[in-house]
Structure 1
């Protein structure tokens, strides 16, 4: 039996490594699409399924992860997830046509879907609440830097070698992660063997998959407005049917009654709205740097690095800040800071000194990292140990939806404000993107209001190690 202190030492590294693989792979392919299309002798547009199939795999697999972890144990499920992800990565690199690539990416998404919630569940069950912030704060860093590094790393690999190397780099990382799983991954199982909610899985996964795919391809000319509207209505109908179903059975796939826990409800709802603003930045910033400032792709990628460095440096300050000011003050004030930082990109245009851009990016990375560390740990502040698996699955499911909405928000805003603007007109492009930053900043500022509903002592069990007395909370119709 592995010593508990050894597990605590290695588990955050293990989960962070797996999460980095999953987050990096979600974005690294985008810059390689033209090279992949040329190699497979298809048009770049026809490879949209390569990107969306990964999203679909995540949307379908995440709701199932909690049940599998409870039934088969966290070690076995996490081991299988990394194995599937690594094998799928090899299959992607060996793909001979677009169909094989799409199928391999779907399999890769299913593997990635199991890694994130099961890894988070292992962290929550291993660390007591007064140590959870430090562990989660460490694990969340890859989730922040992965999407920032993905386009840059993908572009450099394609420029220097072959697009296939993008997928093969996962092999040594995956093998190392498998060794750590076997040596240091704790094996937690559910206290009772609940049956799999097959109907709920079909309803929720289908609705989520359709909605995620629709948001991913939103704005493409190949999808007419009527078809998009029908698909949206279908996805909403399926999700509504799931909600009706879940409230009427004993063991639903996702227990919606968990939203009666106020801190969990506010964390999920606030995070969902915050990501609408933050999620658009990966679309707008590269356009600003390359089209608005006329920088080459590699310089544009380097300008994304300060945010990643600030996110890594933040982990030294977050526990002390939350212990000093509490979750309510931090989340309400920090969300405003994020909105103001997004708005500051409106000052960036042709001729703006690089040190100004770097300073804004550093602030953005710091505030974003503090925000997500706070939201992700607050979700478990008042969750009973027996509900941690369900909370992890639900939190991951709604985070995936919020990521899709955030990406869609960025795409919509970009398309709306750029319109017919000539891409060689830097001033016009920069001005159009400035309107986009203003829109995303306003959305983020609005989300701050959700966190005002927290109480001053919410989250103290995590930030200060204080156990809050049980409160009788009346059930109302608000915010579920």
Structure 2
């Protein structure tokens, strides 16, 4: 079977019309935006929600962590579920669960009920991203995949920038429950569009690896929890290390279990494919450095430079504008230069930009901060889209669901690791509790940015395994204009 486009078996089950192919990237992008916005917009409202529910702010950690844990547990089975029940039904169920969870979260008046509803939200969110990507991979030929992926990756860059501003405005001028109710009209519209335009792809499935699900799901959930509470004083160092060892033991147990199965939960044999291995591992290690930027920059702007939350959000907004504009030149750039040199050079540039952020001080003109944010947004967009599309460069149609599950799982973990690395760097360099002067705070954040920038540059080593011509299947496009 050719790996250059949707397989005949899948195409026969659901052939999307021209209108559906035009609307599909928009539908997936909106779902991605809804899922990506949820966490960042909620962070801003933590004090208001904790006061309304009559609990301490630290108790709200369970509300944030429960969503992440739910994602970590259910993402690995997303590919199998999509193959078994069809992409249309699963994607619709994902949006439906996420919307229902949002409604129940907005109606919650008890912290325990809110946590349970966040778990329900996470069940839906865990399916939206991997199944959405899988649908795109099976709908578009690989020569069109880069242009499509570059479009749908924008929400993942825009949402974290809009979240703090939107959350602040909603809490300040409306009510915290609106944060959850915003998802309802978007979700209902998405459900209608799913049934009208989403193709229904299925594949023959093997029995679900239940033992692997228990081992990997519990291991990854425990590891996510450890990263969520990393740097806090609610657990001792001994307890954190104990949980970390237990989570790694469970994951090691899954690895040994998977080696003996023909159809494990996650097909680790895909890592034998050079482009897949470089894309997934490169994405993981790169995010260790740049994943903490959304945490450090607001800290620098607000605590160090004295900007308000809204002003801080506006200073980050140019990243979103750059991400959207970059998608217009990205296909030609990758087609001309190739994935290997783009990822190597772009990772170094991102590391240098982090070092440049470490020069921002009290006397730095605003226009320079805006310019740096714009360039950082452009190169971040190029990095994420390149890595996300390289995952599917040499995988077959039958392997696409497994590839999507692994890539989404590793991406979720890399985000958690990235925030943990930023927290570690901040705890090491930034004055305790931020009670020192702004000058000391700025110096501490600068050191943290330098450390993360150096780590990002070092992660370039992963992409050196790529060879000239790797990724040509997705970068050599016949059409270079966006939208098509």
Same fold (TM over 0.5): yes
Aligned ranges 1:374-393 → 2 under 5 Å: 374-393=386-405
Q: 1:71 aligns with which of 84, 88, 106?
A: 84
The question of 1:115 aligning with 2:128 is answered: yes
Q: TM-score, normalised by structure 1?
A: 0.95
The answer to whether the 8 A contact 1:331-1:451 is kept is yes
Q: 2:163 aligns with which of 142, 150, 173?
A: 150
The answer to whether the 8 A contact 2:164-2:309 is kept is no
The question of 1:419 aligning with 2:431 is answered: yes
Question: Partner of 1:478 in structure 2?
Answer: none
CA distance in 2, matches of 1:18, 1:345: 32
CA distance in 1, matches of 2:432, 2:36: 33
Q: 1:170 aligns with which of 135, 160, 183?
A: 183
Q: 1:309 aligns with which of 321, 331, 356?
A: 321
Q: 1:135 aligns with which of 145, 148, 157?
A: 148
The answer to whether the 8 A contact 2:304-2:438 is kept is yes
Question: Partner of 1:351 in structure 2?
Answer: 363
Q: 1:369 aligns with which of 381, 387, 408?
A: 381
Give the number of equivalent residue pairs. 465
Aligned ranges 1:241-390 → 2 under 5 Å: 241-390=253-402
The question of 1:27 aligning with 2:40 is answered: yes
- Cα offsets for 1:241-282 (capped at 9, x unmatched): 001111111111101111101100010111100000111111
Shift in Å at residue 224 of structure 1? Answer: 0.5
CA distance in 2, matches of 1:372, 1:148: 16
The answer to whether the 8 A contact 1:28-1:154 is kept is yes
Shift in Å at residue 67 of structure 1? Answer: 0.8
Q: Secondary structure at the match of 1:29?
A: helix
CA distance in 1, matches of 2:126, 2:434: 40
Shift in Å at residue 7 of structure 1? Answer: 2.2
Question: Partner of 1:228 in structure 2?
Answer: 240
The answer to whether the 8 A contact 1:27-1:150 is kept is yes
- Cα offsets for 1:175-233 (capped at 9, x unmatched): 1111110100000001x221111000001110000001110110110010011011000
CA distance in 1, matches of 2:375, 2:311: 19
Aligned ranges 1:209-228 → 2 under 5 Å: 209-228=221-240
Gaps of at least 5 residues in structure 1 are: 467-480
Question: Partner of 2:94 in structure 1?
Answer: 81
Q: Secondary structure at the match of 1:193?
A: coil
The answer to whether the 8 A contact 2:335-2:477 is kept is no
Instruction: Please report the RMSD computed on the Cα atoms of aligned residues, expressed in angstroms.
Output: 1.1
Q: 1:44 aligns with which of 54, 57, 66?
A: 57
Gaps of at least 5 residues in structure 2 are: 1-13, 479-484
Q: Secondary structure at the match of 1:21?
A: helix
The answer to whether the 8 A contact 2:95-2:125 is kept is yes
Shift in Å at residue 340 of structure 1? Answer: 0.6
Shift in Å at residue 379 of structure 1? Answer: 0.7
Q: Secondary structure at the match of 1:303?
A: helix
CA distance in 2, matches of 1:311, 1:222: 38
Shift in Å at residue 424 of structure 1? Answer: 5.8
> CA 1:421–1:25 in 2, change beyond 3 Å: closer, same or farther?
closer
